[in-house]
Structures are given as structure tokens and as C-alpha cells.
């Protein structure tokens, strides 16, 4: 069986690491990797392949940035050429990015089977480009690989139950493996922050956070005025948006750092007193590793993380401080996201469902 994985962004590289590990050494699976180049910065791309020991892509399309339409269209044309050449048994798409949608459309248009890994997540926020990507992908794909029972219910509600299989969350596989490997290492922190003191890790990148200068300024100000140091892992897009708006990111409690390699990020989560993010994947990683999370959104795809207060949603910058300084949750963290074998279950499902 030939599986062709289409990836392009940091969370997808993490999921890809689990799949690549699951097929390693198997003689019944050929795995072709297509990197669209959606994330092309070395720390957001190359480092993940090296740190997570992912095989180098068979194809790097080097699409780069651009508007949604321009980027998706360029990917669609380039991926179609690869698919015509490779003719995989499954085109495997991951998550909710423009790479996901482009890979799906390219495959279904030429009648090649598509499987969507991390199917069924819903924020129910139609302003999010990711929501459109994931919904359209789910309705076009032939096989929907859901990470949780909640995701499977969403798919059933949309009439897609017959195509749905619950396999668990492949990011859990990688998160737990990597976190165990780096446990006990000193975290990488900017100058002026001590690992012996409480600190928070923060990431900001979604358009709803960054594209309104007034709102972004209010969020940055709230972080700068927290009563504990905050390490802001500043995505290139955030830096550009802040610079365009004349917003100084560093200052007060806020310390800038470049995005961390995945093992270093998992290590940082295990030491952090708090996590502040608008990311999807980081909410879940914080939950898995026991770091209380404040999510700067009004909704989350990972609703299970809200149980017992491990994750709270905050859209008003004036309420960030209270959320971050809330007492540490005492509730349990049930294994909603699987037992670390989701990638193996994914491969077995693809073999069983092969046409």
C-alpha cells in the first residue's frame, strides 16, 4: 500500500512524525512525503524534521506564503502533478491548514482516495480559515480518522458517520514520547528568566489575534503587565504584524524568544507555571503534560481540555490576568486523546479500508 502524506505546517510535522514512525520497517507500506512549503522558516520546518527524526520529504513544493487563495491555488496545481505521478492508494491529509484543503481537492478531482487525519474537529467559528478547511476536507474525504469520540459525534451530526473511524490522536503519541525523552532537562529561557521561578509560555499567531492592531495591542499590554515572566515564542507572522502596527512586543513581564524546536517546547511545557496561546495543538499538549492553559479565543476544538479547569477560554484581554493566575487545577486529566498508539491504529485502518 502506498500512502502519500501532504503536510506543510508545524502541527502537521508533529503528526507526520508519528505516522512515519509507525510505517518505519514495514514492508507492506510505502510512504511518500510531500511538503508544500507552507511553513518555510527553518525553525518552523527544517528543525521539526531533524528533531523528530522524520524522513526528508520526497517532494518539497516550496510554495511559501501568500493570500489564502493564491497559496491554496499554487499548492493545488503542484500537488496534482505529484499525485498523477505517484498514484497513491491513500492521500493522507492532516489537520486544517491550506495544505490540507489543497491536498484533498487535488486528490478527489482525479479520483484518488483521501483520508483525513484529525477529522471532525469543530470550533463552530466561521471566521476561522481553519474551520472552513476542516469542514470542506471532511465532506470531500473518503475516510475520516477522528481523534476523539467528540469529533466522531460532530461527523455523525453532519451525516458522515459511515466514513468515520476513531483512531485516537497521533499528536499524543509524539508528545508523550518526546516529553519523556527530555524530562529533567533544563528549559531554554531568555535572559532574565530563571527556571527556578514561575514563568509562563505564550504563543500568538491566529488572524483573530494579530490582524486587529487595537486588539493585539491590548493582548500584548495584558501580557506585559502579568505578575510573572512570560516567554513569548514569537512566530514570524506575529513579529511582522506587530511591527506594521507599531506595537513593541517586548517589555515589562514579556520576553521575546524564537519558536522552539519541538523537544524544547515539550520540555518548556513541563516546567511552565502557565501557558497562554491561541493555538489549537498547544492547548492539547499543555493538557497532556499538566500545564494550565489560558486560550485567547471564545471557542476551542479540544473541548475535553476545558474539564476541571485545565484550559479556560478568554477573549477579553482585561480578563487574561485572572485566568493565568487562577489556582492550579486539582482535577484528573482523563486520557481523552488515546494511549499513544494512534499512529499504529491509523495505519491498520488504512490497510483495512484500502480499496
Q: Which are the catalytic amino acids?
A: 205
What is the C-alpha to C-alpha distance for residues 355 and 201, in angstroms, rounded to an integer? Answer: 45
Residue 253: which residues within 8 A CB-CB, separation 6 or more?
Answer: 223, 224, 225, 226, 227, 228, 229, 230
Amino acid at each position: 500500500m502506498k500512502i502519500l502524506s501532504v503536510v506543510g505546517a508545524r502541527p502537521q510535522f508533529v503528526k507526520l512524525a508519528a505516522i512515519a514512525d509507525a510505517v518505519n520497517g514495514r514492508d507492506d507500506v510505502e510512504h511518500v512525503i510531500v511538503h508544500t512549503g507552507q511553513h518555510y522558516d527553518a525553525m518552523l520546518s527544517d528543525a521539526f524534521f531533524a528533531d523528530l527524526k522524520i524522513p526528508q520529504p520526497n517532494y518539497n513544493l516550496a510554495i511559501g506564503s501568500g493570500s489564502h487563495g493564491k497559496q491554496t491555488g499554487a499548492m493545488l496545481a503542484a500537488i496534482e502533478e505529484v499525485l498523477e505521478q505517484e498514484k497513491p492508494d491513500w492521500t493522507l491529509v492532516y489537520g486544517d491548514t491550506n495544505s490540507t484543503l489543497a491536498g484533498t481537492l487535488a486528490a478527489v478531482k482525479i479520483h484518488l482516495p483521501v483520508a483525513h487525519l484529525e477529522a471532525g474537529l469543530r470550533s463552530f467559528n466561521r471566521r476561522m480559515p481553519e474551520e472552513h478547511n476542516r469542514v470542506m476536507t471532511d465532506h470531500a474525504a473518503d475516510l475520516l480518522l477522528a481523534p476523539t469520540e467528540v469529533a466522531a459525534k460532530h461527523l455523525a451530526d453532519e451525516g458522515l458517520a459511515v466514513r468515520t473511524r476513531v483512531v485516537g490522536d497521533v499528536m499524543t503519541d509524539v508528545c508523550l514520547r518526546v516529553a519523556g525523552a527530555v524530562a529533567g532537562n533544563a528549559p531554554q529561557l531568555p535572559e532574565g528568566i530563571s527556571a527556578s521561578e514561575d514563568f509562563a509560555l505564550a504563543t500568538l499567531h491566529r488572524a483573530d489575534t494579530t490582524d486587529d492592531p487595537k486588539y493585539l495591542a491590548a493582548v500584548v499590554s495584558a501580557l506585559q503587565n502579568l505578575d510573572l515572566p512570560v516567554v513569548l515564542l514569537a512566530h514570524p507572522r506575529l513579529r511582522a504584524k506587530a511591527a506594521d502596527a507599531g506595537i513593541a512586543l517586548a517589555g515589562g513581564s514579556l520576553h521575546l524568544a524564537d519558536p522552539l524546536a519541538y523537544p524544547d517546547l515539550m520540555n518548556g511545557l513541563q516546567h511552565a507555571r502557565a501557558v497562554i496561546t491561541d493555538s489549537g495543538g498547544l492547548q492539547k499538549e499543555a493538557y497532556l503534560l499538566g500545564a494550565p492553559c489560558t486560550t485567547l479565543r471564545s471557542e476551542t476544538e479540544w473541548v475535553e481540555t476545558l474539564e476541571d479547569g485545565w484550559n479556560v477560554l478568554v477573549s477579553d484581554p482585561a480578563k487574561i490576568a485572572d485566568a493565568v493566575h487562577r489556582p492550579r487545577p486539582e482535577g484528573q486529566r482523563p486520557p481523552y486523546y488515546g494511549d499513544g498508539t494512534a499512529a499504529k491504529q491509523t495505519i491498520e485502518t488504512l490497510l483495512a479500508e484500502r480499496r
